[in-house]
């Protein structure tokens, strides 16, 4: 089974990927959080350049993800990525954010199946790298997926990763498994499942319902329980010592990368990782208002010193 780490903007960037792999072993595959392709003739700059730097991703199987509806820029970026040694490029058709959708990008592109098909046929033909897609099943209603799936099936994709929610769901409600099953049946290319796999039981339910499953992408489940991929493969849960070591390595790496802004990054991580503790609200409260590095370190000391771990670390929402 291929287990991959979901792209999560601001969360599963190269620092997280590297530290998680060092502490818990590498997943089969990683996807970068989305980056915008540069203008034709230009190179990647800023955050994208750092995220894609082959050295920062050394030893890991990483697929870059692009967010765009401009075929020329996609193909140009794919050329740059090929030169950097990447072997596949992924298109984001899932981002539900209003500002992205209003520009017809991310899941907003699903509103225009005709344009989407023209785009996909064009980039699949011209891209020097195989093109995979990460998608939602529509914007407003489940019925939209029939037409969208038909579009995908006519394109020579390398893989389709299905997050079976609508744009309007954001991350609410249960993902629909039926459209995932339909995709497995219909697609002439590889298919992957993503959404709400937060425990070994969730994983087993999915793979029992769909034994043809060959690739599961894990997101928030890994943030709440960094040992989840290991557990899915029959390994042990994370001990308190392992969790502390992982935290310290992650914070240290963010400090090296961004100085005091590391505290903000870690506060976002705690939204998820607090689920590894019995009283997740108390854990979140301890870090919520902290701003300075020294105060953050003191809060972390108190968490690990006084908050017991939950019997099972499982993502339970951001309540
Ligand atoms: C904070 C955050 C950032 C995300 N950023 C991206 C992204 O850059 N690209 C993408 O395709 N999906 C992104 N997603 C969606 C995740 O990749 C994934 O589809 C979603 O979390 C559902 O999977 P899960 O239930 O395993 O977490 C993001 C989700 C969250 C919560």
The ligand 1 site (C-beta within 6 Å) comprises 6-11, 33-34, 65, 92, 94-95, 134, 163, 194-197, 218-221
pLDDT surpassing 80 at residue 319:
no
Q: How far apart are CA 211 and CA 230, in angstroms?
A: 20
Query: For a substitution probing ligand 1, which of 4, 5, 6 has the most ligand atoms within 8 Å of its CB?
Result: 6
pLDDT surpassing 90 at residue 317:
no
pLDDT of 226? 98
Query: For 5, phi and psi rounded to 5 degrees?
Result: -95, 130
pLDDT of 7? 98
pLDDT surpassing 70 at residue 191:
yes
Query: For a substitution probing ligand 1, which of 3, 4, 8 has the most ligand atoms within 8 Å of its CB?
Result: 8
Name the percent of the chain lying above pLDDT 90.
98
The predicted-structure confidence for 20-65, as pLDDT tens digits, reads as follows 999 999 999 999 999 999 999 999 999 999 999 999 999 999 999 9
pLDDT of 291? 95
217 forms bridges with which residues in the sheet? 4, 194
pLDDT surpassing 80 at residue 110:
yes
Q: How far apart are CA 280 and CA 19, in angstroms?
A: 23
Q: Return the CATH superfamily for domain 2-225.
A: Aldolase class I (3.20.20.70)
Mean pLDDT of all residues belonging to the chain: 97
């Amino acid at each position: 089974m291929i287990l991959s780490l979901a792209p999560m903007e601001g969360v599963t960037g190269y620092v997280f990927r590297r530290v998680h792999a060092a502490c818990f072993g590498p997943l089969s595959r990683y996807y970068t959080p989305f980056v915008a392709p540069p203008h034709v003739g230009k190179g990647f700059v800023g955050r994208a350049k750092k995220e894609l730097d082959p050295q920062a991703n050394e030893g890991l199987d990483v697929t870059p993800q692009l967010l765009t509806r401009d075929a020329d820029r996609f193909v140009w970026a794919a050329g740059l990525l090929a030169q950097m040694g990447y072997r596949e490029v992924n298109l984001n058709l899932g981002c539900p954010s209003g500002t992205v959708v209003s520009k017809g990008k991310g899941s907003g592109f699903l509103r225009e199946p005709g344009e989407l098909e023209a785009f996909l046929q064009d980039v699949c033909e011209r891209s020097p790298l195989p093109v995979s897609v990460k998608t939602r099943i529509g914007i407003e209603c489940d019925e939209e997926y029939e037409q969208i799936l038909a579009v995908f099936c006519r394109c020579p994709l390398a893989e389709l990763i299905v997050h079976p929610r609508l744009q309007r769901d954001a991350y609410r409600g249960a993902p629909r498994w039926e459209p995932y099953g339909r995709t497995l049946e219909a697609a002439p290319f590889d298919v992957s499942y993503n959404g709400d796999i937060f425990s070994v039981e969730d994983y087993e339910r999915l793979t029992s319902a769909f034994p043809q499953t060959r690739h599961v992408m894990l997101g928030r489940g890994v943030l709440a329980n960094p040992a989840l991929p290991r557990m899915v493969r029959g390994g042990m849960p994370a001990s308190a010592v392992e969790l502390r070591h992982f935290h310290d390595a992650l914070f240290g790496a963010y400090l090296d990368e961004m100085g005091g802004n590391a505290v903000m990054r870690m506060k976002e991580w705690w939204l998820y990782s607090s689920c590894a503790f019995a009283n997740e609200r108390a854990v979140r409260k301890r870090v919520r208002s902290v701003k300075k590095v020294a105060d953050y370190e003191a809060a972390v000391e108190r968490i690990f010193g006084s908050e017991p771990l939950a019997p099972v670390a499982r993502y339970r929402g951001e309540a």
